[in-house]
Structure 1
Amino acid sequence: MKHIHKLLFITALLSSSMAFGQLTEDPDDRKDQGRDPLRTQTPEGRPLPFGQRLRFGGGISNIRLGNPFSIGVSPVVAYQATERMLIGIGGTYNYTRYKAVTTTGNTVPYLTYNQFGGRGFVMYEFIPSILPNLYLHGELENTTIQQIENQNNDRTTSYALTAPLVGVTYSQPISRRFGVNLTALYNLNYNDNSGIARQVYGSPFVLRISFF
């Protein structure tokens, strides 16, 4: 009989200890029992301040080796507008160096392109329950292109291009406000008959790695 009383006492003690632990555990741990940590709210449900929704970073793009040679950099500022949507702006600079070959096999002087401008973009996580961190991506890039013919007397010509780009971005989070992003876009305004577009963009497809 005494053994039964001891067993009941130990069972009651363990049960009360478990219940006390559930009531006193860390709130940051308890939030994971319901929903994932939010990107726009604190664990207590209060909206995050504007500054804590901002992301800063950038990336490299348009990397081509050989002829033509090109490389680009793009600083970015993004804002977590909602749990599933990011909006942002960025600057763009691309350098391209190209040597054309005529039909007779002769080469012409190098052409240098300095491409600079700005862009605005929107990213929307459209199927988080199936593929989290996969975003639809749309942006508008406005670019000025400066073409320099490298001869004894360099001649400079300027062009302006506007490129609407659509595609997807996969973001691998490193922290709540920083991640590695792989973006694949299609240039809706690409014209294969345009020599400037061919030399600067290479193709209607734009691949980009960025960090923000």
Structure 2
Amino acid sequence: MRHIHHFLLLVALLTSSMAFGQITEDPEERRNQGQAPLKSQTPEGNPLPLKERIRFGGGISALQFNPFSIGVSPVVAYQVTEHFVAGIGAGYTYTNFKNYYGGNLNQYSGRLFGMYEILPALIPNVYAHVELDQRSYSTTGQLNVGGRTTGSSTATWLGATYSQPIGRLFSANLSALYNVNYSANSANDLILYGSSPFTIRILFF
């Protein structure tokens, strides 16, 4: 059953995420010349217009069926330079514990992130990743036992992202991150981030 959940999550990520924003005026010509497509400037060295350096996307996360849970994570990213990307994102996750406790869990998040391509000549498309993530939650139904209905926590994620271009319009971004603020003794951290300070995710932008 776990393998089916993982397969369905992968399908959802591939079919429900979108991104757009032109990254170069002639990517095919540069590829034919053995060069990587330019991301923030034209081949003549002029800066690309703002609208051509902004990318929109996101993904679906936390998809499972027992208990039922699903999350969405929209992202807006900006190509600051050829090797640096900055962005903002939001998230919402809904979990229904009806068969367990008779209630629902709602999680909300907002984040700022930066990605810097460390060694483009040796290891292209690999970025150092820094992210500040603020999350909160609220509960309904019998999950309110004890009067604890809300909570929040802030995570500082450090790690790496591999960004694989897909066509001319967007990239698949696989991130492996570690939450340096995580505490296993914090009930809020356990609810919002799970039982481990590590996370692996895929976003498209």
With normalisation by structure 1, the TM-score equals 0.72
**Cα deviations across residues 60-118 of structure 1 (Å, max 9, x unaligned)?**
23445646x5432110000000110000001111223459xxxxxxx972453211121
Matches within 5 A, 1:59-208: 59-63=59-63, 66=66, 70-97=69-96, 109-110=101-102, 112-150=104-142, 157-202=149-194, 203-208=196-201
Aligned AA for 2:158? V
Distance 1:70 1:138, change over 3 A: farther
**Distance (whole Å) between structure 2 residues aligned to residue 204 and residue 126 of structure 1:** 24
**Distance (whole Å) between structure 1 residues aligned to residue 152 and residue 80 of structure 2:** 31
Contact 1:77 1:89 (C-alpha < 8 Å) held by counterparts: yes
The farther-off stretch of 155-164 and 124-133 is 155-164
**Distance (whole Å) between structure 2 residues aligned to residue 29 and residue 109 of structure 1:** 59
Bigger radius of gyration: 1
Distance 1:30 1:59, change over 3 A: closer
**Distance (whole Å) between structure 2 residues aligned to residue 145 and residue 94 of structure 1:** 9
Contact 1:163 1:189 (C-alpha < 8 Å) held by counterparts: yes
Contact 1:96 1:200 (C-alpha < 8 Å) held by counterparts: no
Pair 1:37 & 2:29 matched: no
**Distance (whole Å) between structure 2 residues aligned to residue 151 and residue 39 of structure 1:** 48
With normalisation by structure 2, the TM-score equals 0.74
**Distance (whole Å) between structure 1 residues aligned to residue 144 and residue 83 of structure 2:** 54
**Cα deviations across residues 133-175 of structure 1 (Å, max 9, x unaligned)?**
111111111112112343799x671112111111111111014
Contact 1:137 1:167 (C-alpha < 8 Å) held by counterparts: yes
Shift of 1:196: 2.9
Contact 1:173 1:180 (C-alpha < 8 Å) held by counterparts: yes
Distance 1:65 1:165, change over 3 A: farther
Name stretches of at least 5 consecutive residues in structure 2 with no aligned partner.
1-25
RMSD over equivalenced CA pairs, Å = 3.0
**Distance (whole Å) between structure 2 residues aligned to residue 59 and residue 152 of structure 1:** 30
Identity among equivalent positions (%) equals 51
Aligned AA for 1:182? L
**Distance (whole Å) between structure 1 residues aligned to residue 116 and residue 105 of structure 2:** 33
**Distance (whole Å) between structure 2 residues aligned to residue 204 and residue 160 of structure 1:** 16
Aligned AA for 1:78? A
**Distance (whole Å) between structure 2 residues aligned to residue 195 and residue 115 of structure 1:** 14
Query: Which residue is 1:211 aligned to?
Result: 204
Give the secondary structure class of the aligned counterpart of 1:196: helix
Query: Which residue is 1:51 aligned to?
Result: 51
Give the secondary structure class of the aligned counterpart of 1:198: helix
Q: How many residues align?
A: 178
Distance 1:85 1:128, change over 3 A: same
